[in-house]
């Protein structure tokens, strides 16, 4: 039985797993202690639970629990990593390297640094959304203090060559930050093998609660130091003061543990469902284009441009389904997605894109329903489109002289 509305926008956020909620509940009521209270059992209990969550998170990314610094989410983690490193290593240099398809939480932080006198290199991506490690290598100067490249893109799902970039960063003695918000819990992440020095994570993208995230900060080889953004009680090794969000942290830990146990199976299931959806759409519609890399992409991501149809109109026709046109984070403005534009997708096709983000709780029945409804709606909208009609008649729309009266 289908239940409406259908949620297929799991890159914007994910529903919390009921098992995560269950783990969290006691920490809102009887187990309410402050993890920094050293002098009674309420505090000890909270601290023990926080330590356990730190271990669960560290295990998923192959880190040491002491390297996990809790924050309010990946936006804060990105700010702390980039500004914290820039400020701490300012004597060493003032240059940062990143890419044009990063999330705004990285791009706007980089802009902030530019306003403070830093130089930032924004590397381009290829048609599939991938950054070239050789371009990273060439961009490094003796003033470079940080490279920040995301693990997987939140719009098109392309997975960056993180290990190659990590290797280059190590060779050149430059710190490497990776925004792994969309990757952790979905694909294997190994901070040692990938040469990552700092990494941003967020619980609400992996079936955990909102408002809690972490920054992985390498402790040795090299020991990364950060200027804190917040002054206060010196929590989290002095890098992030503030009373810990114990229920959130417990939920984050539980979410990581579940991802560790189920990621492989879940990845296979979602890949199969995602491919089924893609094949259905590509089999029944002409002039549809896949955005992002065909294989180096997140198992649950599908991003398609439907020529001659506005993504927003398509969404209006699919009100019982939660999907996204472009990135949820930028739908406040009706600009074509800067990520798609960076791949070289024209503004028309960028405006015609839909992002499907499958998740743990989606079923095959839902996928089939969504596929069918998308196909019907695209066909209906195209039927009403004079542009589509002209194109079908063989008119080259690029060379049409439109007159205005």
Site residues, ligand PMP (CB under 6 A): 73-75, 103, 105, 150, 154, 179, 181-182, 202, 213, 329
* Residue 132 CB, nearest approach to ligand PMP (Å): 20
| Residue of closest CB approach to ligand PMP | 73
CB atoms within 10 A of CB 183: 25
User: Of 47 and 76, which CB lies nearer to ligand PMP in the complex structure?
Assistant: 76
- The per-residue DSSP string of 147-170 comes to EE--SB-TTT-BBP-HHHHHHHHH
Report in angstroms how near the CB of residue 183 gets to ligand PMP at its nearest. 9
CB of 205 or CB of 382, closer to ligand PMP: 205
Report the residue number, 106 or 378, with the smaller CB distance to ligand PMP: 106
Q: Using CA atoms, how far apart are residues 389 and 392, in angstroms rounded to an integer?
A: 5
Residue found by looking up tokens 């610094």 in the block:
69
Report the residue number, 358 or 378, with the smaller CB distance to ligand PMP.
358
Q: What is the closest distance, in whole angstroms, from the C-beta atom of residue 302 to ligand PMP in the complex? A: 16
Cα–Cα distance for residue pair 74/172, rounded to 1 Å: 27
Tell me the closest approach of the beta carbon of residue 202 to ligand PMP, in angstroms.
3
179/266 with CB nearer ligand PMP: 179
User: Least distance from C-beta 387 to ligand PMP, angstroms?
Assistant: 32
For 131, half-sphere exposure in the C-beta direction (CA atoms, 13 angstrom radius) is 32
Choose between 93 and 161: whose C-beta lies nearer to ligand PMP.
Answer: 161
With 0-12 / 13-18 / 19 or more C-beta atoms within 10 angstroms meaning exposed / middle / buried, residue 30 is: exposed
Contact 213, 74 (CB under 8 A): yes
If one counts every other C-beta atom within 10 angstroms of the C-beta of residue 142, the result is: 10
- Number of helices and strands (H, E) in the chain? 12, 12
d(CA 188, CA 171): 23
Q: Which of 145, 139, 180 is nearest to 162 (CA)?
A: 180
Nearer of residues 139 and 329 to ligand PMP, judged by Cβ: 329
Q: Nearest approach, Cβ of 23 to ligand PMP (angstroms)?
A: 20
We find the least distance from the C-beta atom of residue 211 to ligand PMP, in angstroms, to be 8
Shortest Cβ 322–ligand PMP spacing (Å): 15
Point out which residues pair with 289 in neighbouring strands.
305
Which of 140, 198 has the CB closer to ligand PMP?
198
329 is catalytic: yes
Active site positions, annotated: 329
């Amino acid at each position: 039985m289908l239940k409406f509305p259908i949620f297929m926008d799991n890159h914007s956020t994910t529903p919390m797993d009921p098992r995560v909620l269950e783990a969290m509940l006691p920490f809102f009521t009887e187990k309410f202690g402050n993890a920094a209270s050293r002098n009674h059992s309420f505090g000890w209990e909270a601290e023990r639970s926080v330590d356990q969550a730190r271990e669960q998170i560290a295990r998923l990314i192959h880190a040491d629990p002491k390297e996990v610094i809790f924050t309010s989410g990946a936006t804060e983690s990105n700010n702390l990593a980039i500004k914290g490193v820039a400020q701490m290593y300012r004597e060493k240099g003032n240059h940062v390297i990143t890419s044009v398809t990063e999330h705004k939480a990285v791009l706007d932080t980089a802009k902030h640094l530019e306003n403070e006198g830093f130089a930032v290199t924004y590397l381009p991506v290829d048609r599939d959304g991938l950054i070239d490690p050789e371009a990273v290598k060439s961009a490094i100067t003796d003033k470079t203090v940080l490279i920040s490249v995301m693990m997987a893109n939140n719009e098109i799902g392309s997975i960056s060559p993180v290990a190659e970039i990590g290797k280059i960063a190590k060779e050149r003695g430059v710190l490497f930050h990776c925004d792994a918000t969309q990757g952790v819990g979905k694909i294997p992440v190994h901070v040692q093998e990938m040469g990552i020095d700092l990494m941003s994570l967020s619980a609400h993208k992996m079936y955990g609660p909102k408002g809690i995230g972490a920054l992985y900060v390498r402790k040795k080889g090299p020991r990364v130091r950060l200027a804190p953004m917040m002054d206060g009680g010196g929590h989290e090794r002095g890098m992030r003061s503030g009373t810990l969000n114990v229920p959130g942290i417990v939920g984050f830990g539980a979410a990581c543990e579940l991802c560790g146990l189920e990621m492989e199976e879940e990845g296979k299931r979602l890949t199969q469902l995602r491919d089924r959806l893609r094949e259905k759409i590509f089999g029944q519609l002409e002039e549809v284009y896949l955005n992002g890399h065909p294989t180096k992409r997140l198992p649950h991501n599908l991003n398609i441009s439907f020529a001659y149809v506005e993504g927003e109109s398509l969404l209006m026709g699919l009100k019982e389904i939660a999907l996204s046109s472009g990135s949820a984070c930028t739908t406040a403005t009706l600009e074509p997605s800067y990520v798609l534009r960076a791949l070289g997708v024209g503004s028309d096709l960028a405006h015609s894109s839909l992002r499907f983000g499958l998740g743990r709780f989606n079923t095959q029945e839902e996928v089939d329903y969504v596929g069918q409804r998308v196909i019907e709606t695209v066909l209906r909208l195209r039927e009403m489109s004079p542009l589509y009609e002209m194109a079908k008649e063989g008119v080259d729309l690029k060379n049409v002289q439109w007159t205005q009266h």
